[in-house]
Amino acid sequence: MSSTASQVIRCKAAVAWESGKPLVIQEVEVAPPQGQNPLFPRIYGHEAGGIVESVGECVTELKPGDHVLPVFTGECMDCAHCKSEESNMCDLLRVNTDRGVMLNDEKTRFSINGKPIYHFVGTSTFSEYTVVHAGCVAKINPLASLDKVCVLSCGISTGLGATLNVAKPPKGSTVAVFGLGAVGLAAAEGARIAGASRIIGVDINSNRFEGAKKFGVTEFVNPKDYKKPVQEVIAEITDGGVDRSIECTGNVDAMISAFECVHDGWGVAVLVGVPHKDAVFKTHPINLLNERTLKGTFFGNYKPRSDLPSVVEKYMSKELELEKFITHSVPFSEINKAFEYMLKGEGLRCIIRME
């Protein structure tokens, strides 16, 4: 190990003090590498609906009184991803869990007694007021109930879009959904809207099966009930495999099963869940050569500002049913009770009512 390890190092560097001026060779001090410190204190929250109170000087597309959905990812409208019809992964405003400040000046907008309180994924919606980049705000129909459409700003849109925008099941097709939490049930809802004839729910918790029927799920498979891989079970009951599958667990084994259970020749599998950073996806290349397709998706391939207003309209026209996703409601003063519901696996979405 170097004798300078963990110490401040003094060395020469070429420093630019002004634009257009020659570089100056000077001695600088270089601090040693450090671990990444979690940003605390910070204000969490990333699924919400609200009303614009005021806007910054350069904001022209929003005004006070607008009803909006703040979103953890954004749409700058200018980068290659935003200009592409195939991507929603904005270069400027893509989700960043490590950033705790505003983009333009790298400062927070929250404080307590002068001490900065950091932001979370650009939204920080566990606050009666928050400040969000204009590119991360979707303007919606003011007649839509904010306490219902707020769930569209993350998980529900992710699952719904994974089916409607990425898997795109033809009417009458068979669809398997792996994981019957809120995101998976939203994927099933998408299959129902698309007109799938069979929607197979796959989950290791059989208690979820009865409730999933409300979202269009027609039959259920618990992998624990079989000695063979679940993809083989699904292939047997669907005469060779499903037309589409959507994986919503983040478990790499479920991802592999979701891919290998689709029919050769035309089957499409879509991965939604986020796996462990060390997870490795393994499958035999022949599964791809036999014309199975594997896709991934981020936020259901919805562009926040361009597409979310139309998703809200699906709710307004009663094509999309959101009420069945909302199982609990608590006042803001009891926000920790919402976390208790989540940790116990009770319910799907808990609405926090600002008082």
Q: What is the DSSP string of 148-198?
A: HHGGGGTHHHHHHHIIIIII-PPTT-EEEEE--SHHHHHHHHHHHHHT-SE
> Which SS3 state, helix, strand or coil, does residue 35 take?
coil
Give residue 36's pLDDT band: very low, low, confident or very high (50, 70, 90): low
pLDDT of residue 40: 86
Non-local (6+) Cβ contacts of 247 within 8 A are 178, 179, 254, 255, 257, 258, 259, 269, 270, 271, 272, 273
Mean pLDDT computed over 148-172 = 98
Residue 331 φ/ψ region, left for φ over 0, alpha for ψ in the -120 to 50 degree band, beta for the rest: beta
- Beta-bridge mates of residue 331: 353
> Which SS3 state, helix, strand or coil, does residue 206 take?
helix
pLDDT of residue 44: 92
How far, rounded to the nearest angstrom, does the alpha carbon of residue 128 sit from its chain's CA centroid? 23
273 burial (CB, 10 Å; 0-12 / 13-18 / 19+) is buried
Cα angle vertex 176, ends 173, 180, to 5°? 135
Cα angle vertex 204, ends 203, 205, to 5°? 90
CA distance 49 to 66: 11
The three-state DSSP-derived secondary structure of 309-331 is HHHHHHHHCCCCCCHHHEEEEEE
Non-local (6+) Cβ contacts of 142 within 8 A are 66, 67
Q: Which of 218, 67, 229 is nearest to 137 (CA)?
A: 67
285-303 exposure pattern, b = at least 16 Cβ within 10 A, e = fewer: eebeeeebebeebbbbbbb
| Domains of the chain, each with CATH number or no CATH | 9-153+322-353 (3.90.180.10), 155-298 (3.40.50.720)
Does 22 have pLDDT greater than 60? Answer: yes
174 burial (CB, 10 Å; 0-12 / 13-18 / 19+) is buried
The answer to whether 161 touches 297, Cβ cutoff 8 Å, is yes
Place of tokens 């910054």: 56
197 burial (CB, 10 Å; 0-12 / 13-18 / 19+) is middle
Q: What is the pLDDT of residues 278-322, one digit of tens each?
A: 999 999 999 999 999 999 999 999 999 999 999 999 999 999 999
pLDDT of residue 1: 47
5-14, 39-48, 101-110: the lowest-pLDDT one: 5-14
Please give the sequence-ordered ranges of beta strands (E in DSSP) within 47-107, or none if there are none: 50-51, 67-70
- Which pTM does this prediction carry? 0.90
CA distance 54 to 131: 9
- Concatenating the DSSP letter of every residue in 220-276 gives EE-GGG-SS-HHHHHHHHTTS-BSEEEE-S--HHHHHHHHHTBPTTT-EEEE-SPPP
How far, rounded to the nearest angstrom, does the alpha carbon of residue 182 sit from its chain's CA centroid? 12
Q: What is the pLDDT of residues 217-242, one digit of tens each?
A: 999 999 999 999 999 999 999 999 99
Mean pLDDT computed over 150-172 = 98
Does 23 have pLDDT greater than 80? Answer: no
* Mean pLDDT computed over every residue of the chain: 94
How many Å is the Cα radius of gyration of the chain? 24
pLDDT of residue 316: 98
- One-letter amino acid at 27 equals E
Mean pLDDT computed over 336-340 = 92
Phi, psi of 246 (to 5 degrees): -130, 125
Q: pLDDT over 70 for what percent of the chain? A: 98
